[in-house]
Amino acid sequence: MTIKPEQLQAQLEQDLKPLFWVNGDEPLLLQECADQIRAYCRDNDFQEREIFSVDKRFNWELFSATTGNLSLFAQKKLIELRLDSPKLEDPGKQALQNYVASVNPDYLILITSSRIEPATLKTKWFKSLIPSTGIVQVWPLSVDELPRWLNKRLQREGINASPEALQLLVDRVEGNLLIAVQEIEKLKLLSDPDSKQKFDLDAETVSYMVADSSRYNAFNLIDAALAGNGKRALKIINGLHNEGAEPLMIIGAVSAELRRLLPMSKKVEAGQSIRSVLQSSRVNFKREQAVTSALQRVRPALIYSLLDQSRVVDYAVKGLSTNNPWIEIENLFLRLSAVVTATSRRTVWKH
């Protein structure tokens, strides 16, 4: 059974599975889901807790011996398996299959791991676990989901944020939820815990209290442009410029990305579905949304043109033209973001 994080508490109270597998690549949300299960166990007379850190050298006989230890006077126990990888070797697969085939009613098994790949979910051994397992999949928040998530957190802590304050907070934490929670804890200090009224948070206070956690790189920039977010792309370019980034490093990264995107775009133009193209090209799941957005609007002709434009930047950096390389980078990424620029520049060659 697949469970969304927001459904977890109801699942624990209404249909407690003997095994829960919490997986994903967002550390804070992963930790909070696991904490929910631990809290449930504390509140429901689970008096023992045993933790196993599982790597490739782990002896699964220890787990089997622990879970197979039946007693008339056994206490309820939470057993945690913290996997360094969700791709288990045969002894691990067999140990879990054996456990769900003969569940110890006094135990609850909590497995935590990074994201389980779709291919693993379809395997025979994993499917055998599903009837007895609550599979909690934790997905990273998208750029569009972050403001609502932050606002909900602030409201929970008694803070009313103005739209301007909320947007500034989103910009400052740059999608890092751990940093976001730390900053909200700082903002809580401004409110009166004894007051029944919520604290009103404005942009000026956020600007003063919340550190700018933005640390950009060329890959953040590329993903913003692929996703069609020209405003964010410009912000990242400005940040890279201020940090003294090398234009050639940016152009090298985007040129490599465009060359990867080109054959995918040709396949889509030829009639293949974007989903099949993503799978055959083995696009990392974290980048699927951005690449999908790009494939929906970017055609091979534009990619060829952008590769030509990257050469203009290269010439400008090397002093072979009078163009400003940073302006050319802005134009290139705005075009990749599907933002049409009104300015065209003529390359002036040095002799």
Give 290-349 pLDDT, tens digit per residue: 899 999 999 999 999 999 999 888 888 888 888 899 999 999 999 999 865 544 443 333
Q: Whole-angstrom Cα distance, residue 124 to residue 178?
A: 36
Q: What was the pLDDT predicted at 185?
A: 87
Give the residue range(s) of CATH 3.40.50.300 domains in the chain: 2-138
Give the residue range(s) of CATH 1.10.8.60 domains in the chain: 146-209
Express each pLDDT in 57-107 by its tens digit.
Answer: 999 999 999 888 665 566 889 999 999 999 999 999 999 999 999 888 889
**pTM score > 0.75 for this model?**
no
Residue 319, φ and ψ in degrees, nearest 5: 80, 15
Give the residue range(s) of CATH 1.20.272.10 domains in the chain: 218-336
Taking domain 146-209, whether its CATH number is 1.10.8.60 is answered by yes
Phi-psi region of 243 (alpha: psi -120 to 50; beta: other; left: phi over 0): alpha
- H helix runs in the chain, sequence order: 8-14, 27-43, 60-67, 90-101, 118-121, 124-127, 146-156, 163-173, 177-188, 203-209, 218-226, 230-242, 247-269, 274-280, 288-297, 300-317, 325-336
The CATH number of 218-336 is 1.20.272.10
| Residue 25 CA: distances (Å) to CA of 38, 98, 174, 207 | 20, 28, 16, 29
Q: What was the pLDDT predicted at 74?
A: 66
- Which class is 2-138 in CATH? alpha beta
Express each pLDDT in 180-204 by its tens digit.
Answer: 888 888 888 777 666 677 888 888 8
DSSP letters along 189-224, please? TTS-TT-SSPEEE-HHHHHHHS-------HHHHHHH
| Residue 309 CA: distances (Å) to CA of 153, 259, 275 | 44, 13, 29
